[in-house]
Chains A and B, each alone.
Chain A
Amino acid sequence: MFNTLPHLAHLPAHLVLSLGLLFFFLGKTIPGIKKLPATAIFIAMLALAAALEASETGSHDLFFGMVQTDSFSRLYNQLYFIVSALVVVMLHFSDEMDRENDWENYGLLSCLILGMMFMTSASHLLMAVIAIEMVSIPSYLLVALNRKNPASKEASMKYILFGSFATGVMLYGMSFLFGMTGSLTFADIWNGLGSESVGTPIYYLAIGFTLAGMSFKVAAVPFHFWCPDAYQAAPTPITAFLSVAPKVAGLTLMMRFFADHLPVQGDSLTQMLSIVAIVTMVVGSFAALKQTDIKRLLAYSSIAHAGFLMMGVAVLNTDGRQAVFFYIPIYILMNLGAFMAIIYLAQDHDYKISAFNGAVKSNPLLVTAFAVCTLSLAGIPPFAGFVGKFYLFKVAMEKGLYPMILAAGISTVVSLYFYVSLLKVMIIDQEARTFSPLGSKVPVVFVSLCALPLVFLGLYWVPLVNWADKVRLFQ
């Protein structure tokens, strides 16, 4: 008889999230409980999970090599909790959806977070598939949260179809891998592939198909087509969440999947991944040029950023992992800050760029903070985005991946253009409409709290580098 308790003891945060999932789905049916403040409970739950996660130590191989918890997974899990908490704040102050659905929303979010945690910890392909689905299915529903909006439902439907397609391709690739190696554990797969198969067509097909499912989560080209539609139609806080968290989870899965490769396989994998990275950043930044909707623009910007982050994955070494982790908190701050700002500047859910003309006149502080987030996204010093990009460029440079650096350079320059034209619209152009004054100070505080660390980290990033030091090894 297999004793699961010792294994579960190493997954305290997962347990908390699972209980939360049950609580939010079932609790509503129990008469008295419904009156409890759902938001406060959810945030408390996240805090508890984060505390438990922070107190864990050591590396543990759980459930027959299905799940592995270590410093890598713990650090990323903490980031998921932070993002979720921030998004809950955004949800609370957004007027795009009904308040009475909070219980379901938090249930879905719990499930999604749980899925992301398993994506980060999975060390077995089956676990990876389950985790990806655990993230995907709540995402489909979250995109359609706004039930009165037909566009939301349509986007969600497209998302589902696209997701099923990507999952199908991934399962196909996994069957190849299983056929070639007889195993689904990451380490065994790479050992089984050995050195003979490197360079054969089936090697590329198997790995490429398997990569499809992960690319879908990361929104890497060519699995990015769902992204603009879903982002545009989803309620903005959900867009912000989707543009950050599942993307990061997908990257962690990639990093763990490729971490055990044999030295002889290294070059071919690096080349494969760098091609994906190049295509992703170039497509993301060029496609953003012609967007007229600010949410679509940010969607393409997030695709380009996925490409930048893929640079750190493609080098397949400890420095790369550190650089990726270093960039992510910065990316979270700048992306969430930008989304929060546009939630509050938009009127009647009109996200056309031209609707933001001259916003600086009525909301100087909010637009200033937005400008910091945007310039940081563009990678302009002294904001933190520059330092983050610098580390990514550095690891690629050390690995000698010059074409990728060239592509990243071009993409950065191109993206600068659309970020700055966004700022031009808000700051230089004449006011097109009157902006209603903000009902509450919270959005300004929220965006400023995103912008200030960006300035601080841009000047003094040592603490973050030291924190990121822990993800170098899986220990």
Chain B
Amino acid sequence: MISMIPLVPILPLVGALIIGLFGKRIQATIGEFATGVLGCAMPGLAALISFGSFFELIARPATDRIIVSHLAPWVSVADFQVEWAFRYDPLSAMMLMIITGIGTLIHVYSMGYMHEDPSYWRFFSYINLFLGAMLLLVLGDNLLIMFLGWEGVGLCSYLLIGFWFNNPDYAYAGRKAFIVNRIGDLGFLTGMFTLILFSAANFEVVTLSFGELQGRMDTLAQYTLWGFPVLEVAAFCFFVGAIGKSAQIPLYVWLPDAMAGPTPVSALIHAATMVTAGVYMIARMYFMYSLAHFTLEFIAIIAALTCFFSATIGMAQFDIKKVLAYSTVSQLGYMFLAMGVGAYSAGTFHLLTHAAFKAALFMGSGSVIIAMHHEQDMRKMGGLLKKMPITGWAFIFATLAIMGFPGTSGFFSKDEILEKAFEESVWLWLVGFIVAGMTSFYMWRAVFMTFFGEFKGDHHTWEHCHEQPKRTVVPIAILAALALSLGFLNVPDFMGGDYSFSRYLSPVVKNLEEAQVHGMPDSIDGEQHAPVHAEEHGDLLIEVGLMVGSVTWTLLTAFLAYYLYLVNPKAREALMSRAGPQAVFKVLNNKYYVDEFYDLVVVGPLKKCYAFMGDFDKYVVDGAVNLAGYVGRGLGILAGFLDQHIVDGAVNEVAWASQTTGKGFSLLQSGRIQALVGATLVFFAAVLTVWIVYL
């Protein structure tokens, strides 16, 4: 199966091509269902290969789990060598399973969700293309292929956010996502160029392959660029790329707007896969980040801020998808927090669990939205659990996971991050701890507003509201089950587990502390044990204490939501009627006015700049072109003058020939050819003169 890994990205790309070229015809002749089945077939096959390969991979010894397949040379200019190569190792194997597994489920879900959309085929073509690009990003053995995928997913995200482009707001959201991502991409490129620059100075051959780069880190670490260590600069630039793609402060603004796209897109791209690309990138290049401590600190701070602010915004939203969007930004903050404190495996593990529970939440919300006839405002919902039991319970289970209820996946992954943050700094932990409570609050708030209490919409909608078909709810149920169970992959040692997930990742990703203990991170020894943990009694106490503390805190906020939104809404109304809370709520509801601030500070001046450049073009550039025209005309007049007075004699031969050779020649507009030959002579003489005089 492992030998078939290159097919994994190719299959969805082929699917995208087929559906893109012939989908319209297939949909028109054979029908919508066939288009959907075709759209699901390729991701399904890719998922089959990914899972098959995974079991083959874990059957191998731990030292032999990195498989690089070299397919073909790509760019080969002098000493710059980049090839088409895929890297299959525990990290990419995990990502492949997330992408193809959740991807396939979401494809199946989309068959129901996109039902009766006239552009059904276009949707499946785009989303197949997205899967192909994402798989390319993950599998690429070098930065250039990763960048190819990076750009590819950006493009698909743009296409899918603006999928219903007839609505100008949606089209605007697509453009916003694209442009904001572009800013991040500049960072990614700059990072890549930095590495190329210093590789070229030190090594025979410049490559961007991860294996080679890892071995070169020691050498590169000795250099500085403008007074900063090179690796810090490169790591920082790559992180700017991640800020854009993974929606961190200050570039997170596109993600909430991206909810304009169809809900399956939000679930797949803007929750489970694409937005986690930044986390994956850091895990993939952990060897560089482990040598860049300032950047790591910066990442941790940015992550903590993002985590906190987006969670506060999430508490004050009424659009169910907006709540989930801000929750995604906040959860991404958790992942980067883990990365920032050097706990790469913890961040990656949260990526895995988050993919499951957030996809389930999004798909659940999609199901609700369809049932409510595209109503997204939670204030018009309520009591839906009776009407949609499967969706409702799946949503509740996923909410248990995201709040970190003991035993669920979020419990293990979030708890590990908080523990690692605590080891690094109490302040980082405190932020993460507070946010855990807020998460629990806003998620239960969403659950209570949507599924419990009285229905607050109109009678007609309530009558028509019903559970969705099987192809929609079964994927949600599967994901909810995963959200509950995935946590057992990485049970901490003090609870009788052995951190099996971290150990699984350890051949390719080593946490900061291990790297320092074991020297250079590239030393892969087969005897790699579980992450080194302090075994002292005091630490155990702290760990258990942290865990009990956060569980209590999240349950507390959950009950607060229960009290305010279900038991005693009057108390909430009384609270909100006071001036102070009302003002706070207004600021949060308006997302701290960040969009308005950006419009004022960035977009406005840029527009002025465009206007200036337009004028510049009109008056200066056009003027220069006109000037060139005048110069040309002047030269023409000069050549004509020379022709008339000097060259005519030289071309009399030609003239004589044309006069004597009969009627056919009279067709020549007399003089034209002489002028041409004359001009040639003048020109030629000029060139010869330049040669003789100046060379």
Chain A residues in contact with chain B, CB under 8 A? 150, 153-154, 157-158, 161-162, 165, 169, 199, 201, 204-205, 208, 212, 221-223, 225-226, 268, 271-272, 275-276, 279, 286, 289-290, 394, 460, 462, 465
Instruction: Tell whether A157 pairs with B692 under 8 Å between CB atoms, given A162-B673, A165-B654.
Output: no
The residues of A that contact B628 with a CB separation of less than 8 Å are 286
Closest to A271 in B: B695
Residue interface bits B667-695, CB-to-A below 8 A is 1, else 0: 11100110011011011101110111001
Are B665 and A222 within 8 A (Cβ)?
no
The residues of B that contact A205 with a CB separation of less than 8 Å are 688, 692
Q: Residue B495 at the A interface, CB < 8 A?
A: no
The residues of B that contact A158 with a CB separation of less than 8 Å are 668, 672-673, 676
What are 12 A-B pairs at a CB distance below 8 A?
A158-B668, A161-B654, A165-B677, A204-B695, A208-B684, A222-B679, A222-B680, A222-B682, A223-B684, A272-B695, A290-B629, A462-B76
Among B668, B679, B682, point to the contact of A157 (Cβ < 8 A). Answer: B668
Most chain B CB neighbours (cut-off 10 Å) among A169, A221, A394, A462: A462
Are A275 and B687 within 8 A (Cβ)?
yes
The residues of B that contact A462 with a CB separation of less than 8 Å are 72-74, 76
Are B664 and A153 within 8 A (Cβ)?
yes
The residues of B that contact A275 with a CB separation of less than 8 Å are 687, 690-691
Complex CA distance for A161 and B665, rounded to whole angstroms: 11
The residues of A that contact B672 with a CB separation of less than 8 Å are 158
Instruction: Tell whether A268 pairs with B695 under 8 Å between CB atoms, given A165-B680, A460-B74, A462-B74.
Output: yes
Q: Residue B625 at the A interface, CB < 8 A?
A: yes
* Nearest 7 pairs of A and B residues by beta carbon: A222-B683, A225-B676, A204-B691, A154-B667, A201-B692, A222-B680, A222-B684
Complex CA distance for A419 and B291, rounded to whole angstroms: 49
Complex CA distance for A205 and B684, rounded to whole angstroms: 11
The residues of A that contact B665 with a CB separation of less than 8 Å are 157
Complex CA distance for A290 and B682, rounded to whole angstroms: 23
Taking the closest CB of chain B, its distance from the CB of A202, in whole angstroms, is: 9
Taking the closest CB of chain B, its distance from the CB of A10, in whole angstroms, is: 34
Complex CA distance for A462 and B628, rounded to whole angstroms: 40
Taking the closest CB of chain B, its distance from the CB of A435, in whole angstroms, is: 22
Most chain A CB neighbours (cut-off 10 Å) among B628, B667, B687: B687
Q: Residue B658 at the A interface, CB < 8 A?
A: yes
Instruction: Tell whether A154 pairs with B687 under 8 Å between CB atoms, given A162-B673, A165-B654, A460-B74.
Output: no
Are B667 and A153 within 8 A (Cβ)?
yes
Complex CA distance for A104 and B674, rounded to whole angstroms: 31
Q: Residue B59 at the A interface, CB < 8 A?
A: no
Are B687 and A222 within 8 A (Cβ)?
yes
Residue interface bits B603-631, CB-to-A below 8 A is 1, else 0: 00000000000000000000001001100
Complex CA distance for A154 and B692, rounded to whole angstroms: 36
Are B695 and A465 within 8 A (Cβ)?
no
The residues of B that contact A204 with a CB separation of less than 8 Å are 688, 691-692, 695
Residues facing A in B349-366 (CB within 8 A) are none
Complex CA distance for A271 and B690, rounded to whole angstroms: 11
Q: Residue B77 at the A interface, CB < 8 A?
A: yes
Chain B residues in contact with chain A, CB under 8 A? 72-74, 76-77, 625, 628-629, 632, 654, 657-658, 664-665, 667-669, 672-673, 676-677, 679-680, 682-684, 686-688, 690-692, 695
Closest to B677 in A: A165
By secondary structure, the A interface counts as helix
Complex CA distance for A150 and B668, rounded to whole angstroms: 10
Closest to A225 in B: B676
Taking the closest CB of chain A, its distance from the CB of B660, in whole angstroms, is: 13
Among A226, A279, A289, A290, point to the contact of B676 (Cβ < 8 A). Answer: A226
Instruction: Tell whether A162 pairs with B667 under 8 Å between CB atoms, given A221-B683, A222-B687.
Output: no
Complex CA distance for A465 and B81, rounded to whole angstroms: 14
Are B691 and A272 within 8 A (Cβ)?
yes
The residues of B that contact A465 with a CB separation of less than 8 Å are 76
Taking the closest CB of chain B, its distance from the CB of A317, in whole angstroms, is: 14
Taking the closest CB of chain B, its distance from the CB of A167, in whole angstroms, is: 13
Complex CA distance for A208 and B695, rounded to whole angstroms: 13
Taking the closest CB of chain B, its distance from the CB of A372, in whole angstroms, is: 16
The residues of A that contact B682 with a CB separation of less than 8 Å are 222
Taking the closest CB of chain B, its distance from the CB of A459, in whole angstroms, is: 9
Most chain B CB neighbours (cut-off 10 Å) among A158, A161, A208: A161
Taking the closest CB of chain A, its distance from the CB of B289, in whole angstroms, is: 31
The residues of A that contact B690 with a CB separation of less than 8 Å are 275
Instruction: Tell whether A289 pairs with B625 under 8 Å between CB atoms, given A150-B667, A204-B695.
Output: yes
Closest to B72 in A: A462
Complex CA distance for A226 and B677, rounded to whole angstroms: 9
Are A208 and B688 within 8 A (Cβ)?
yes
Are A212 and B684 within 8 A (Cβ)?
yes
Are A276 and B687 within 8 A (Cβ)?
yes
The residues of B that contact A162 with a CB separation of less than 8 Å are 673, 676-677, 680
Closest to B675 in A: A225
The residues of B that contact A223 with a CB separation of less than 8 Å are 680, 684
Are B679 and A154 within 8 A (Cβ)?
no
The residues of B that contact A226 with a CB separation of less than 8 Å are 676
Closest to A465 in B: B76
Given A204-B688, A289-B625, A460-B72; 16 other pairs, CB 8 A cutoff: A153-B664, A154-B669, A157-B667, A161-B657, A161-B658, A161-B677, A165-B677, A201-B692, A208-B684, A222-B686, A271-B691, A275-B691, A276-B687, A286-B632, A460-B74, A462-B72
Closest to B669 in A: A154
The residues of A that contact B676 with a CB separation of less than 8 Å are 158, 162, 225-226
Taking the closest CB of chain A, its distance from the CB of B626, in whole angstroms, is: 11
The residues of A that contact B657 with a CB separation of less than 8 Å are 161
Complex CA distance for A164 and B140, rounded to whole angstroms: 59
The residues of B that contact A165 with a CB separation of less than 8 Å are 654, 677, 680
Complex CA distance for A290 and B632, rounded to whole angstroms: 11
Complex CA distance for A153 and B684, rounded to whole angstroms: 27
Are A208 and B687 within 8 A (Cβ)?
yes
Complex CA distance for A290 and B665, rounded to whole angstroms: 29
The residues of A that contact B629 with a CB separation of less than 8 Å are 290
The residues of B that contact A150 with a CB separation of less than 8 Å are 667
Complex CA distance for A279 and B673, rounded to whole angstroms: 22
Are B673 and A161 within 8 A (Cβ)?
yes
Taking the closest CB of chain B, its distance from the CB of A246, in whole angstroms, is: 18
Complex CA distance for A290 and B133, rounded to whole angstroms: 43
Most chain B CB neighbours (cut-off 10 Å) among A165, A201, A268: A165
Closest to B688 in A: A208
The residues of B that contact A272 with a CB separation of less than 8 Å are 691, 695
Most chain A CB neighbours (cut-off 10 Å) among B657, B673, B677, B690: B673
Instruction: Tell whether A199 pairs with B654 under 8 Å between CB atoms, given A150-B667, A225-B676.
Output: no
Among A154, A201, A212, A290, point to the contact of B668 (Cβ < 8 A). Answer: A154
Complex CA distance for A208 and B657, rounded to whole angstroms: 26
